[in-house]
Structures are given as C-alpha cells and as structure tokens.
Amino acid sequence: MASETTPNEAGDLTRRSVLKTSAALGLLAVPAVGLLSACASGGDDGGDDVEASGDAKNPFGVDPKKPLEVVIFPGGFGKDYAEKQKTVYNTNFPEAVVTINAIEDLRAELAPRFQGKTPPDILQNEGANKIPHGELIANNQYHDLQPLLDAPTLDDPNVKIKDILYPGVVESGTFKTTDGSSKFFVLKYTYSMWGLWYSQQLFDEKKWTVPTTWAELMTLCAQIKKDGVAPFTYTGVHTYYIRDMFVTLACRHGGTDVIKNIDNLEPDAWNHPSVLAAAEALYSLKKQGFILGGSEGLDHRQSQARWVKQDAAFIPVGGWLENEEKDILKKEFEMRLMAVPPLDGSVNPQAINAGAGEGYAVPADGKNVQGGLEWLRVMLSAKGREAFGADAGTPTVVKGAKEGLPLEDKPGLKSMVGLLESNGDFAFQAMIGDWYPQFGDGIWGPALGELMSNAKNAAEFVEACQKGADAIASDDSIEKQKR
C-alpha cells in the first residue's frame, strides 16, 4: 500500500512513540488508529482471506463454536432487530455465543479497538460519531465483502446474494483502495428516502390538500399560516437535514446531471441555474414567514417533537422518522411522506432522493471474519429482513423488500414504500457531502443553514459553495472520486 511514501522512516518513528496500546483515547481516539497499524506493518495483512464456497449451509467456513461480536449503532433503528437476527444465526450455529453491543459514540469506543486489532466482527458504522469508511479502508481495516456477493442466499442455495440486491447497492458500498483498485467494503442495508413528512390527520382536520408543485406548496403554506400553524420546521443545528430539500429541488429542476456535476467537482457546477432556483426557493420560505420561529436553533429531536405536536405542518427528515419518534407518535396522526414538490419548469419532476443507507462492515482484524460475513448473510435472509422490518420499519436493499414489512401498523412506512415503488426509477443521491466531509460539514452545511435562516441570500449561497468546491478540486491532498 501507498508505496510512494517512506514506510521505514514512519515506521521507526511510530514504533518509538507508540506504546502498547489497548485502551481508549476517548473522543480523540482516532489518531491512535494509524499508529498501531503502522507498528504491525505497513503491508496489507488485514485478516484472513475468505472465499465463498458452494456450501449453501456454511459458505464461508464459519467455525460453529467461535463467538461473534456485533456492534450496532442504536440511532434511528434501535437494536432489537439484531437480537432477533441473532436467533437466526444461532439456528445454524447453535453453539456460537453472539454478543450484541449497542454503541452511540462509535469513534470513542471503537477507534482504540481498531488500533488494538480487536475490533468487533460486525460493525454498523453510522451516526454522528462514525469513523469514516474511507479512513478505515485506507488502512486495510475492512474486509472485502466480495465473498458475500458470491455466496448463496440463506433461503435458496441456487440464488446468489448479488442477484437479490437492488441495483446501485454494490456501487454505493464500493470504495477505492490505496492501491487504486475498487472493492465492495460496505453493505448498505436499508433502502430509504428523504422527503417532507406531514400529518394526514392534521391535513384532513384543516381541509388542506397535498400540493404537487412548488407553487401549490406556496399557496398552501399561506393557508396553513393563516390557520395558525407554522408551515415548516426543520433541524437547524444539524444542517445535513436541510440537504435533501436543496438537492431534490435542484435535481428535479435541472435533471440528475446537475447533481452529478456537483459531485464530480465540475467547474461552475454550482453556477447552474437550477442550483440558484433551488436556493431561491429555500430562501423564500423564511422570507414569507413560513418557518416555525426558532427552528434554526432546534436539534432534530426538538424540531421533530414540535412537528409531532402539530405546531408545524412539514418537516424534512429521512425515512427513519416514524421509528425514531414511535414513543410519541400516535397512529391516528397518520404520518405521510412526500418528496419536495418540483419548481416550475422542472425537467425531472419525479426524482426522489432515495437509495441505500446504514452501512455495515466486517472489520478485517476481527476474530471471526467468517462469522461476520455469515451475519450479513443472515441479515439479508427472509427472516433477517423480517426481524428488521418489524422493528425498524424500514425496507432493506433486497428486491421486493416490502414483503414482511408491518405496513398496516406504520402509515409513514406505507407511504414511503409507495413512493419508492412509484418513483424508484428516478432515484438519485448526492455524494459530495459523503465523499468530501470537509466540504459537507465546513462549507455546504453552514451555507445551507444560513440560506434557510436568511443570513445568506441565494446568490451568496451559490458563491460560497462554488468557492468551496473549487478549493476541494484544487487541493492535491484530497483523493478525488468520480461517478
């Protein structure tokens, strides 16, 4: 790996300064990760190489007695589903002791374990404190998931796993390694979308009709405001919650290429008229008084609570909202999802911001890599999906995943699945924020926040983003991705 650097010099230095390291560095744990792998060797010795055999019962050669540690990020979906998937795993390997740990601050607790070469066998690497996949992949700390794709499904020995996944799933989990090749490292498990949530109950009660265009939405907002409800609230302090409204409007207005050009850091990508149109639309929300007072200072739980209390009509959140707020949501609330309605003159009005999410990976240094792969196979099986669907109420990346979902109990889920079915062919995702977190967190997010709160106008927003994108493009130290 990275042969152009000088491993000897670095190796010596780190061997001197790094010590036996097994414990944690708290929030700042990450810098330690590299040091240890430096000690171990600069080479790619990450774990055993596992290949899928034709054995449908045990394609990866799992040692039936080896324990398995599963780490779950208990954010939007909790961890109950994993407990149920455990029983599926244990039907084939009854002697294996499976431990499921739910960890919120992944960085603090896991970085030292990666560093100490004692990572868990399966990791759901998500949440505000996730360790970027790219960082771990660069150090060969994820195991290649190709064997999983080649393995037969648990339900039908004649069908391979790669054939049951939605298109785009493998692509979204494939990363460039340091030697320039691309491998499939991350299984994104959920198939979900972002959009505007509303309460059908509230709409019925106030006799509002669901808008199909941006102009209709604006008329409706004026009505909503007149009826004493705030049309919108949103999560102001975590600005990535606002991204969806912007990318959906721009993508619908100008087509998918608008987003692709942005992702590919094309010069002037942000100066596209559709980008400006989307920004102006968002800017106008606050200008017209359509936003619940103080939304820019609310975190996601606060803004969602206000929306559940029907203080605001719409809220932009991802597909997990129904599950996240299940403790306070009543069924008669009848939550519904719609994509942000298209601006006038949109060329791609059916586009939805949808795709695979929630990445699971098998750490290369785990004690039970085979078991980790097998666990993913369990997750993708009919029973595994059922367990997830029942608890987490979210479709998975397996085709036809709607079967087994508790659609009748979860009105929000039902409406999302409907949208995924009707508009699935127009699904798109913006990658720039994930590919270049410095841009997403340092430039784009703050600029979006200021656009929403009207501290910046649309032109200033575009200018700030273009400037930031240019800075990424001209920075040689940043590895560029292409789609």
Provide the minimum distance between the beta carbon of 180 and other proteins in the complex, in angstroms, as a whole number: 16
Structure tokens at 347: 């060329």
- Confirm if 428 and 353 have CB atoms less than 8 A apart: yes
Identify the bridge partners of residue 232 per DSSP, sorted by sequence position.
291, 314
Residue type, 265: L
The per-residue b/e assignment along 36-66, b for 16 or more CB within 10 angstroms, e otherwise, is bbbbeebeeebbeebebeeeeebbbebeeee
Provide the minimum distance between the beta carbon of 401 and other proteins in the complex, in angstroms, as a whole number: 25
Residue 21 or 284 with smaller CB distance to other proteins? 21
Return the residues of window 258-317 that contact other proteins according to CB under 8 A: 292-302, 305-306, 309
Residue type, 236: G
13-21, 152-160, 342-350, 385-393 -> range binding other proteins (CB under 8 A): 13-21
Provide the minimum distance between the beta carbon of 26 and other proteins in the complex, in angstroms, as a whole number: 4
* Of positions 61, 67, 75, 255, contacts other proteins by CB under 8 A: 75
How far, in Å, CA of 124 to CA of 407, rounded? 25
Provide the minimum distance between the beta carbon of 313 and other proteins in the complex, in angstroms, as a whole number: 16
Q: What are the Cα distances from residue 57, in Å, to 150, 287, 387, 455?
A: 14, 61, 20, 59
- Confirm if 424 and 411 have CB atoms less than 8 A apart: no
360-368, 381-389, 410-418, 464-472 -> range binding other proteins (CB under 8 A): 464-472
Residue 66 or 238 with smaller CB distance to other proteins? 238
Structure tokens at 194: 């972002």
* Of positions 83, 105, 257, 266, contacts other proteins by CB under 8 A: 105
Q: What ranges in 121-213 are assigned the alpha helix state H?
A: 133-138, 146-150, 169-172, 200-206
Residue 181 or 477 with smaller CB distance to other proteins? 477
**CA geometry: angle 39, 45, 46, nearest 5 deg:** 100
3-11, 340-348, 387-395, 413-421 -> range binding other proteins (CB under 8 A): 3-11
* Of positions 321, 449, 458, 462, contacts other proteins by CB under 8 A: 449
Burial class (CB in 10 A: 0-12, 13-18, 19+), 344: exposed
Q: What ranges in 119-199 are assigned the alpha helix state H?
A: 133-138, 146-150, 169-172
**CA geometry: angle 291, 293, 296, nearest 5 deg:** 80
* Of positions 222, 455, 460, 481, contacts other proteins by CB under 8 A: 455
Quote the DSSP letter at residue 359. E
* Of positions 287, 326, 399, 467, contacts other proteins by CB under 8 A: 467
Q: Is 139 in the site for other proteins (CB under 8 A)?
A: yes
* Of positions 153, 192, 199, 239, contacts other proteins by CB under 8 A: 239
In the block, which residue shows the tokens 């391979």? 160
Q: Is 97 in the site for other proteins (CB under 8 A)?
A: no
Q: Is 402 in the site for other proteins (CB under 8 A)?
A: no
Return the residues of window 419-448 that contact other proteins according to CB under 8 A: 437-439, 441-443, 445-447
Quote the DSSP letter at residue 124. E
Q: Using CA of residue 45, residue 483, residue 441, residue 354, what is the dihedral sign?
A: negative
How far, in Å, CA of 340 to CA of 338, rounded? 6
Return the residues of window 33-52 that contact other proteins according to CB under 8 A: 33-35, 37-39, 42
* Of positions 68, 98, 110, 136, contacts other proteins by CB under 8 A: 136
Q: Is 26 in the site for other proteins (CB under 8 A)?
A: yes
Return the residues of window 111-130 that contact other proteins according to CB under 8 A: 112, 128-129
* Of positions 12, 27, 55, 216, contacts other proteins by CB under 8 A: 27
| Total residues interacting with other proteins, rule: CB under 8 A | 84
Provide the minimum distance between the beta carbon of 463 and other proteins in the complex, in angstroms, as a whole number: 12
Residue 130 or 377 with smaller CB distance to other proteins? 130
Q: Is 473 in the site for other proteins (CB under 8 A)?
A: no
- Confirm if 188 and 172 have CB atoms less than 8 A apart: yes
Longest CA pairwise span in the chain (Å): 72
Residue 131 or 202 with smaller CB distance to other proteins? 131
Residue 7 or 61 with smaller CB distance to other proteins? 7
Provide the minimum distance between the beta carbon of 292 and other proteins in the complex, in angstroms, as a whole number: 7
Give the end-to-end CA distance of the chain in Å, rounded to a whole number: 24
Residue 26 or 64 with smaller CB distance to other proteins? 26
Q: Is 24 in the site for other proteins (CB under 8 A)?
A: yes
**CA geometry: angle 339, 206, 245, nearest 5 deg:** 20
* Of positions 60, 71, 93, 107, contacts other proteins by CB under 8 A: 107
Identify the bridge partners of residue 363 per DSSP, sorted by sequence position.
142
How far, in Å, CA of 175 to CA of 188, rounded? 13
* Of positions 63, 257, 460, 470, contacts other proteins by CB under 8 A: 470
Residue 60 or 320 with smaller CB distance to other proteins? 320
Residue type, 373: L
Q: Is 23 in the site for other proteins (CB under 8 A)?
A: yes
